[in-house]
A and B are shown apart, each in its own frame.
Chain A
Amino acid sequence: MKLSARERAMLDGAAGPGARLAMRILDAVGRAHDAPDLIPVRSAHVGLSLSSLGEAGVALLESLAAGGARFAVPATTNVLSVEQDEAVAGASPDAALQGRALAALVRLGATPNCSCNPFVQGHAPRAGEAVAWSESASAPFVNAVLGARTNREGATALASALTGLTPRYGMHLDECRRGAVLFRVNAPPGDFAGFSLLGAAIGRRCEGRIPVLVGVRPPPSRDLLYAFCAALAAYSSVATFHMVGVTPEAPTLAAAFAGAAPPAIDVDEAMLRGEAARINRADPADAELVVLGCPHASLDQLEEIAALLAGRHVAAGRHLLVHTNADVREAARRAGTLDALEAAGARVTAGTCAYVATDEWPRGTRLATDSAKMAFLMASRGLATAVASTRDCVRAVSSS
């Protein structure tokens, strides 16, 4: 990989120890992927959950900040392992440690938006921009829906934030963004859970090849596309997809494949029902715990959940968690939606979720969710998970 004189100097430490460490990561990633050079990024989305960083990760962020490193480009932050206000207050040892990670990132220059769904907060790369975004769910949305460019990043997003650079490979190359496997969607997935199951079904079947979908009508809302993206990323390693007539790089089938399309795999209602049956380890109606807002809910989704809860209340011994970020939670407070949700017994969290939380639910807990991603993650923790519509989830833990 060819480095400019300035990049070489950063690798040699001329721009400080933080930039040197970041350049070591980017240089090695670029060499491993035969990248010809480094390219500038316009933004980064950086992970900082305590469950991922551990104590050593927190210490790393603090040492970067104390050493004088500063981000070269705008950066947003992913979810936390405790609620954002708890992290700021540092009420428990975990919260205090999480708060130190957040404070270090803010000192480095990050925006403390603390969300896996920064798009609803107005943080969205523009078409054609190269960026470095962590959080697997964000990559298909950035690439396919927004037409910007990111690989699936982890600690590399931190390195890109510190340098403003990323190696030119993968999603940054036109030829790596083309479709490779075709799915014909014959059944409208319908609601949030339907699009989430569609993402899981296709993620499982695409075997690492970039999927192209035809027949998705009408064009799905952003919330539905994000449900699809999160599940697709959870059930596969792909960083993008194409939805013909919907996503910007797929105006036609031929454009999605940059040539002739392969034979299609049919997606029908039976496949989506089969996907739910494969995921479900419990009857959703028996749930003790319902988790909504994976990825973090938009204001529209909070209003939909409040409407489903109208005249109902969460039953004794049952729990309804709704995850979002602090901006949407505040907007819901002003609109009266938050009061309605809380009065009905729902708990609306800001900046965290049940999976990244250090406070874990016991193994065997019966969990229903409208997100195939949340089901996948919590099943890996030994919970008895089930996917159902938002409405059926709400009804499972509430009564009139």
Chain B
Amino acid sequence: MGTAIACGIGLVAGIARGAVAASAAPVGVARIDPSTGVLHEPGQPLDGRALAGRVLVCPAGKGSSSGSYILLNLARRGLAPAAIVVGRADAVLIAGAVLGEIPLVHGVAAPDRQRLVDGLAVRVDGAEGTVAPQ
């Protein structure tokens, strides 16, 4: 296990491991299909990607408040992201991560997020607010 390459504020505790799914644009979690875990958000870099088991890395959440319950439904079906790492977490993302027990790290600055390249295997500590290579 490596040392942390990205740090922020741990908002939802838990340890998660997975490959990074990275986006330079905010993600509307309400646009994730709750029956497949695939994001359907035209124009979003992660459009069409299955986010189940991935460590979702993006600047922020956005969009409908139903996103919280989408994350809960995904988690109950085992289709949720393994963890979420963001620059700025809004209340929709936070409530969804708490309900779905998805480790959430907030306040991760852009230079740190840029080290979390798509596909990189990482370990997220949602209590400490750290992300380390696996």
Contact = CB atoms under 8 A, between A and B. Distances in A.
Contacts of A237: 62
Contacts of B76: 55-56, 59
A103 to B, nearest CB: 18
B91 A151 contact: yes
Interface string A1-31: 0000000000000000000010011001101
Nearest to B100: A56
Interface stretch (B15-23, B49-57, B63-71): B63-71
A31 B72 contact: no
Contacts of A25: 94-95, 98-99
Nearest to A49: B66
Contacts of B72: 54, 56-57, 60
Interface string A58-102: 011000000000000000000000000000000000000000000
Contacts, number: 79
B10 to A, nearest CB: 9
A90 B70 CA distance: 24
A24 B98 contact: yes
B21 to A, nearest CB: 21
Interface of A: 21, 24-25, 28-29, 31-32, 47, 51-57, 59-60, 134, 136, 151-156, 159, 237
B89 A134 contact: no
How large, as a class, is the contact surface on chain B?
20 to 34
Contact of A155 (B68, B77, B106): B68
Contacts of A136: 65
A31 B107 CA distance: 10
A155 B65 contact: yes
Given A56-B76, A154-B95, A156-B95, A28 B69 contact: no
Nearest to A59: B76
Nearest to B92: A154
Contacts of B104: 28
Interface in B57-92: 62, 65-70, 72-73, 75-77, 88-92
Interface in B85-134: 88-92, 94-99, 104, 106-107
A29 B61 CA distance: 13
B7 interface: no
A29 B94 CA distance: 6
18 contacts: A25-B99, A29-B91, A32-B90, A32-B94, A47-B65, A52-B69, A54-B34, A54-B70, A54-B73, A56-B75, A56-B76, A57-B72, A59-B76, A154-B91, A155-B95, A155-B96, A156-B95, A237-B62
Given A152-B65, A154-B66, A154-B68, A55 B73 contact: yes
A31 B69 contact: no
Given A25-B98, A32-B106, A155-B96, A56 B65 contact: no
Interface in B1-25: 9, 11-12
